[in-house]
Chains A and B, each alone.
Chain A
Amino acid sequence: MLLPQKSLFGWVCMSRLDKIRNFCIIAHIDHGKSTLADRLMEKTGTVALRDMTDQLLDSMDIERERGITIKLTPVKMKYNRNGEEYELNLIDTPGHVDFNYEVSRSLAACEGALLVVDATQGVEAQTLANVYLAIDNDLTVLPVINKVDLPSANPEAVKQEVEEVIGLDAQEAPLISAKDGINIEEVLEKVVDYFPAPKGDENAPLKALIFDSYYDNYKGAVCLVRIKDGAVKVGDKIKMMATGMTYEVTEVGVFSPKAVPQEILRVGDVGYVCASIKNVSETEPGDTITLADNPCAQPCPGYKKVLPVVYCGIFPADGSKYNDLRDALERLKLNDAALFYEQETSAALGFGFRCGFLGLLHMEIIQERLEREFNLDLITTAPSVNYNVYKTNGEMITVTNPSNLPSVQETDHIEEPIVSAEIYTPPEYIGAIMELCQEKRGEYKDMVYLDKSRVKLSYIIPLNEIVYDFFDSLKSRSRGYASLDYEIKGYKQSDLVKLDVLLNNDICDALSIIVHRDKAYQRGRSLAEKLKDVIPRQQFEIPIQASIGNKVIARETVKALRKDVLAKCYGGDISRKKKLLEKQKEGKKRMRQVGTVQVPSEAFMSVLKLDDN
Chain B
Amino acid sequence: MKGIYIHIPYCAKRCAYCSFVSGAPHESMPFYVKALIKEMSERLTVGEEISTIYIGGGTPSVLYRGAISEIIAFIRNRCAVSPTAEITVECNPDSVSKEFVDEIVGAGVNRVSIGLQTDNDELLKTINRPHDRQGFLRAYAELSKIKNKSVDLMLGLPGQTKEDLRSSLALVVSLNAPHISLYALKVEEGTLLYNSGFSVDEDFEADLYEIAYEFLTKNGYNRYEVSNFCLDDNYSRHNFAYWDMVDYYGFGVSAHSYLDGKRIANDDNINKYILGNCDVEITDVSADKAQEYIMLSLRTSVGLNLNRLLSYGVDLIKEKGKKVDELIKNGFLVRKGDNLVLSEGAYYIMNSIICSLM
Contacts and interface: CB of A to CB of B under 8 A. Distances in A.
A557 B244 CA distance: 39
Interface string A561-594: 1111111111111110110110011001000000
Interface string B1-18: 000010100000000000
A559 to B, nearest CB: 8
B256 A584 contact: no
A422 to B, nearest CB: 48
Given A564-B349, A577-B295, A581-B358, A572 B184 contact: no
Contact of A571 (B56, B185, B226): B56
A574 B332 CA distance: 24
A540 interface: yes
B232 to A, nearest CB: 23
B312 interface: no
Contacts of A577: 295
Contact of B250 (A538, A540, A561, A571): A571
Nearest to A577: B295
B269 interface: no
Residue of B185, B354, B355 ringed by the most chain A CB atoms within 10 A: B355
Contacts of B339: none
Nearest to A570: B20
Contacts of A573: 254, 256, 265
29 contacts: A539-B330, A539-B349, A561-B349, A563-B202, A563-B205, A564-B348, A564-B350, A565-B209, A565-B226, A565-B350, A566-B184, A567-B185, A568-B183, A569-B242, A572-B242, A572-B248, A572-B256, A572-B258, A573-B254, A573-B265, A574-B242, A574-B263, A575-B263, A578-B291, A578-B292, A581-B354, A584-B351, A584-B352, A588-B355
B53 interface: no
A584 B347 contact: no
Contacts of A562: 202-203, 206, 348-349
Contact of A572 (B257, B347, B350): B257
B37 interface: no
A562 B186 CA distance: 15
Contacts of A568: 181, 183, 227
A574 B186 contact: no
Contact of B355 (A540, A569, A575, A581): A581
B296 interface: yes
B353 interface: yes
Nearest to A587: B355
B274 to A, nearest CB: 18
A578 B56 CA distance: 21
Interface residues of B, number: 44
Interface in B214-228: 226-227
Q: Which 5 A-B pairs have the closest CB atoms?
A: A563-B206, A562-B206, A567-B186, A564-B351, A563-B348
A563 B184 contact: yes
Contacts of A578: 288, 291-292, 295
Interface of B is mostly: mixed
A597 to B, nearest CB: 13
Interface string A281-310: 000000000000000000000000000000
A567 B256 contact: no
Contacts of A588: 355
B255 interface: yes
A578 B291 CA distance: 9
A584 B263 contact: no
Given A571-B256, A572-B250, 4 more contacts: A539-B332, A562-B206, A568-B227, A578-B291
B319 to A, nearest CB: 15
B186 A566 contact: yes
Given A561-B352, A564-B352, A571 B330 contact: no
Contacts of B242: 569, 572, 574
Interface in A302-328: none
Interface of A: 538-540, 561-575, 577-578, 580-581, 584-585, 588
Nearest to A568: B183
Nearest to A586: B355
Contacts of B20: 570
Contact of B256 (A564, A574, A580): A574
B126 interface: no
Contacts of B226: 565
B332 to A, nearest CB: 7
A571 B186 contact: no
Nearest to B291: A578
Nearest to B288: A578
B182 to A, nearest CB: 10
Given A572-B242, A572-B257, A566 B351 contact: yes
Contacts of A567: 183-186, 227
Contact of B347 (A561, A565, A581): A565
Interface of B: 5, 7, 20, 56, 181, 183-186, 202-203, 205-206, 209, 226-227, 242, 248, 250, 254-258, 263, 265, 283, 288, 291-292, 295-296, 330, 332, 347-355, 358
B330 A574 contact: no
Contacts of B183: 567-568
Nearest to B185: A567
Contacts of B353: 539
A569 B354 CA distance: 16
A563 B213 CA distance: 14
Nearest to B186: A567
Contacts of A539: 330, 332, 349, 352-353
Residue of A564, A565, A567, A568 ringed by the most chain B CB atoms within 10 A: A565
A227 to B, nearest CB: 66
Given A569-B242, A574-B256, A574-B258, A563 B355 contact: no
Contacts of B5: 571-572
Contacts of A571: 5, 7, 56, 250, 254-256
Contacts of B347: 565
A595 to B, nearest CB: 13
Contacts of B7: 571
A437 to B, nearest CB: 42
Nearest to B242: A572
Contacts of A566: 184, 186, 351
A285 B184 CA distance: 66
Nearest to B227: A568
Contacts of B295: 577-578, 581
A539 B348 CA distance: 10
Contact of A563 (B203, B250, B291, B296): B203
B205 to A, nearest CB: 6
Residue of A539, A563, A575 ringed by the most chain B CB atoms within 10 A: A563
Contacts of A580: 351
A162 B155 CA distance: 71
B7 to A, nearest CB: 6
Nearest to B353: A539
B342 to A, nearest CB: 10
Nearest to B332: A539
B292 A570 contact: no
A262 B255 CA distance: 74
A577 B303 CA distance: 18
A569 B56 CA distance: 12
B245 to A, nearest CB: 9
Contacts of B291: 578
A176 to B, nearest CB: 53
Contacts of B351: 564-566, 580-581, 584
B56 A570 contact: yes
A389 B349 CA distance: 48
Residue of A567, A568, A572, A581 ringed by the most chain B CB atoms within 10 A: A572
Contacts of A565: 184, 209, 226-227, 347-351
A585 B355 contact: yes
A562 B200 CA distance: 13
A577 B295 CA distance: 9
A585 B354 CA distance: 10
Contacts of A570: 20, 56
A540 B296 CA distance: 24
